[in-house]
Amino acid sequence: MWEGSGNNYAYLVTDEKTKNAVIIDPANPPEVLPVLKQKTESGDIKLQSIINTHHHHDHAGGNGEILKHYKLPIIGGKDCAHRTETPSHNSTFTVGDSIKVTALHTPCHTQDSICYLFEDGNDKAVFTGDTLFIGGCGRFFEGTAEEMHKALNETLAALPDDTRVYPGHEYTKGNVKFGIKVMQSEPIKKLQSFAEKHKETQGKFTIGDEKLHNVFMRLDDPAVQKATGKSKPVDVMAALREMKNNS
């Protein structure tokens, strides 16, 4: 959504067997509603709920308009517009018969940020909002370096390495431009090459990849510590974010 300005992602996830579906962060109804209308009227999907990763307008700001067309529960953090349910950390719910969703609280970008792990058989995907981007992370608007370190390097890093990452924005080109200044490793060069050739990078990389090419998940790396002049992980995280903000 808002291609060329916000480069936001909204995601429609459907259980193929039951056609039950959820829409994640449908913040721009003029772009989202025509898709939902076509798919619901054709019987391709049965909308089950709206899911929000956090309360910012460019993620939860479309809830009110979507509700005029579809009477749905809204699953999201405590500050999300029209929210009906906030899942507790590590709690689960299902989409249709086969998709299990785990809510992972990752406060920092906002205090109500939640990432959602979707599992269907062996397939795993995590929708990270503005907490984790491909090769980067969100600004610490409502939180601290300590919170982002925990969110990325404890909560999300604990997910299986083959979990595919679906972030809230397409920011990879900018993230890798910063990352390559910090650390000239092969994984970062590979990410740079991919970003130069592809407009969209969502779902193309995994948690395992992020541990290799995302400098915010490599706080113990000597190259990252050297670039920041810090050695304690939380201090490295704070310095990195400050450097990125000013880059």
Pairing of strands 46-51, 164-167: unpaired
From the candidates 54, 55, 149, 213, give the one annotated as an active-site residue: 54
The catalytic position among 130, 149, 209, 213 is 130
| Cβ-proximal residues to 234 (8 Å cutoff; 6+ apart), any chain | 145, 146, 149
**Annotated catalytic residue, options 55, 105, 149, 169:** 169
Per the annotation, the verdict on 213 as an active-site residue is no
Answer yes or no: 130 catalytic: yes
CA distance 245 to 247: 6
Active-site entry in 15, 58, 120, 209 = 58
Beta bridge partners of 51: 24, 75
Strand (E) or helix (H) holding 8:
none
Residue closest to 156 by CA, chosen among 201, 89, 93, 204: 89
Check if 109 is active-site. Answer: yes
When computed from its CA atoms, the radius of gyration of the chain, rounded to whole angstroms, is 18
56 is catalytic: yes
Return the SS3 of 41: helix
Distances (CA, A) of 150 to 78, 147, 187, 237, 247: 20, 5, 23, 10, 24
Catalytic residue among 56, 105, 149, 213: 56
Measured CA to CA, the distance from residue 129 to residue 238 in angstroms comes to 20
Tokens of 8: 């936001």
Q: Where are the alpha helices (DSSP H) in 95-232?
A: 145-150, 172-182, 186-197, 207-213, 222-228
Residue 55 annotated in active site: no
State the catalytic residues. 54, 56, 58-59, 109, 130, 169
